[in-house]
Amino acid sequence: MLKLKYLFENFELAKEALKNWNHDADTLDEMLSYYRISSNAIYPFRYNGQICFLRLSPTDEKLKKNILGEMEFIEYLGQHSYPVLRPIRTRCGENVIIIDTKWGKYYACAFYRVAGNQINTTDMSHEIMYAYGKALGKLHALSTNYKPSTKKWTHNEVLEWIEEVIIEYNAPSYVLHELKEVKRQLANLLQQADNYGLVHYDFEMDNVFYDEKTKSCSVIDFDDGMYHWFALDVEQVLFSLRDELDGTILKCAEEAFIDGYKSEYDYSEESQNSRPLIRRFTNLFSYARLIRCVAETFDDEPEWMSELRKKLDDCIKELESAMN
């Protein structure tokens, strides 16, 4: 998540950025009102009537190599007929640009909307969950052969960043102890070409769209991708399913997802057994991003920010409790 100071809407900034892309001016104000801001600012717009999305990220919040690496991976997936969001080039033919504005410098890029509906808005039937797993399995199969010119960061680089953040923001000592223990155990985890590569990281249901016509899934939001064990993506999905389902329905959904995954890629016992350790890694990464997000305070905070801060503080306490 971005720092709280970046969570305010800025339609002037969006309009300035969109000068670099073709767009429908007559619907722009209405479309921009459907914005959302979390780890990026996302502003919808239309081009020739088609729904598109402008994505803005402050340059001090992102690594350039991760932005470029994301776009290169998306292009690679598209070249291999993987259903993925399509970037829209600027009027000068670029996929990503840096805009220097009175509000600061931002990475800017734009994408067409993908077909279908977010999986969490469907009935999550056996057929859909199987297709969901199949999409992730195919993604990992393609990742094993991916040779980029610009590599995104690795899990070790992420661990270094986490350590810098928890020290800078004075996290409790047991958080640093947990980090060192996770580092130690990950260093002993088998790492080879068939179980480690560029992962999506956020393959949860709101980032995967099921198209009833093609009976397949399209994927968005590769922003947080990193080099990690493929089991991370599986863990993220299965963990998120617990927020939507329970009991027998949850078990059936998990089985359908894994069966779909296995139809495209191997899922070993070692991958299954690594999930608890990988959950500890994702908890640390979430924790570092959260404490960094809420650290800065403001006079006369709007009500929505105060409510969000409380919610995020509760998340921080929950994560600390799991580590202590």
243-288: per-residue pLDDT in tens? 999 999 999 999 999 999 999 999 999 999 999 999 999 999 999 9
State the span(s) of the chain assigned CATH 3.90.1200.10: 117-323
Average pLDDT over residues 175-196: 98
Take residue 3 and report the two structure tokens written for it: 């720092």
Q: What is the residue-averaged pLDDT of the chain? A: 97
Superfamily of domain 4-112: Phosphorylase Kinase; domain 1 (3.30.200.20)
- How far apart are alpha carbons 249 and 240 in whole angstroms? 14
Instruction: Produce one character per residue of 250-282: b if its CB has 16 or more CB atoms within 10 Å, e if not.
Output: eeebbebbbbbbeebbebeeebeebbebbbbbe
Q: What is the pLDDT of residue 224?
A: 97
Q: What is the pLDDT of residue 101?
A: 97
Q: What SS3 string covers 242-269?
A: CCCCCHHHHHHHHHHHHHHHHCCCCCCH
Average pLDDT over residues 191-196: 97
State the span(s) of the chain assigned CATH 3.30.200.20: 4-112
Q: What is the pLDDT of residue 320?
A: 98
2-13: per-residue pLDDT in tens? 999 999 999 999
User: Do residues 152 and 226 touch, judged by C-beta distance below 8 A?
Assistant: yes
Contacts of 299-302 with CB under 8 Å at 24 or more apart are: none
Q: Is the pLDDT of residue 23 over 90?
A: yes
pTM for the predicted model, two decimal places:
0.96
The residue type found at 29 is D
Q: Is the pLDDT of residue 201 over 90?
A: yes
Indicate the fold that domain 117-323 takes in CATH. Answer: Aminoglycoside 3'-phosphotransferase; Chain: A, domain 2 (3.90.1200)
- How far apart are alpha carbons 214 and 135 in whole angstroms? 13
- How far apart are alpha carbons 191 and 196 in whole angstroms? 6
Average pLDDT over residues 221-235: 98
155-175: per-residue pLDDT in tens? 999 999 999 999 999 999 999
Q: What is the pLDDT of residue 230?
A: 99
Average pLDDT over residues 311-319: 98
**How do the residues of the chain divide into helix, strand and coil, expressed in percent and rounded to 5?**
50, 15, 30
Q: Which residue has the tokens 């899934």?
A: 217
Average pLDDT over residues 48-61: 98
Q: What is the pLDDT of residue 210?
A: 98
Q: Is the pLDDT of residue 1 over 90?
A: no
Instruction: Produce one character per residue of 183-216: b if its CB has 16 or more CB atoms within 10 Å, e if not.
Output: beebeebeeeeebbbbbbbbbbbebbbbeeeeeb
- How far apart are alpha carbons 80 and 71 in whole angstroms? 14
Question: Cβ atoms within 10 A of the Cβ of 129, count?
Answer: 26
Average pLDDT over residues 206-222: 97
Name the more confident of 253 and 298: 253
Instruction: Classify the phi-psi angles of 116: left when phi > 0, otherwise alpha if psi is within -120 to 50, otherwise beta.
Output: left
